[in-house]
Amino acid sequence: MCRHLAYLGPAVTLGKLLTEPDHSLFRQSWEPRRQASGVVNADGFGVGWYAEYDPLPARFRRFGPIWADQSFLDLVRVVRSGALLAAVRDATVGGSDGEAAAAPFADGRWLFSHNGALRDWPDAVAPLAAALPAAELLSMECRTDSALVWALVAHRLRRGDEPGGAVSEVVRELAGAAPGSRLNLLLTDGARILATAWGDSLWYLAEPEALRTVVASEPYDDDPRWQEVPDRTLLTATRDEIKLTPLKEPNT
């Protein structure tokens, strides 16, 4: 399992979102309040952000607990951005992939995170993996279930699928192949956020008058404007608009 967060809005320091709030993502690494499975997210972390004059996001990822990395605290104190995606990781199965297994994954302008786990990994989803082009399978950053989920989403984005349709289709295919999987996906290109609630918590904080939107596994403070996303839902967000679309169960 994991906890993750995406932001669109006026440029702020990364720490304003990730370390300063009372129940920030930093604190959620050891004290999540709404996580469906697992109690500590200490198997890696990462943040990807967009700079004003560069079309591609930068990433900072590490293996190990976020609270043990002093370089991260320096980074988030001074780096500013108007769009980011960050995550802390609780590995489903132990492995040696190191920081390559930490979200966000990236392709072009896209940043991606998966909060959840594939049931009966890897056997249940082997046919879906086998349907991917060999070059895309070989280019996966690591051998985790989340990396495969990203490969399936990225494949659809590269062939020109609409982003909301891409993540919705992948969630339904994986849920059909591996029932009981938890499939909260988070995707951004710096201008919009796509997220799914499927088996774990998802919340959003919308301030359209300030052109500011936060989508997160759980609220990072006690602001009463946080809204919970119903399970089996696709969230599509920009800086000034939120849209919620029910997701159909597989085979319906």
- Residues that are catalytic: 2
Q: How far is CA 39 from CA 35, 53, 101, 113, 168, in A?
A: 7, 39, 19, 19, 28
Q: Tokens 């988070």 appear where?
A: 186
Cis amide bond preceding 122, omega within 30: yes
Closest alpha carbon to 157 in 217, 224, 86, 109: 109
DSSP string, 129-177: HHTS-HHHHHT-SSSSHHHHHHHHHHHHHHTT--HHHHHHHHHHHHHHH
62 CB neighbour count, 10 Å cutoff = 17
Dist. CA 168–CA 137, nearest whole Å: 21
Closest alpha carbon to 170 in 245, 118, 217: 118
Closest alpha carbon to 8 in 205, 215, 239, 163: 239
Residue 224, C-beta contacts closer than 8 angstroms, at least 6 positions apart = none
Q: Tokens 């997160």 appear where?
A: 216
SS3 12: strand
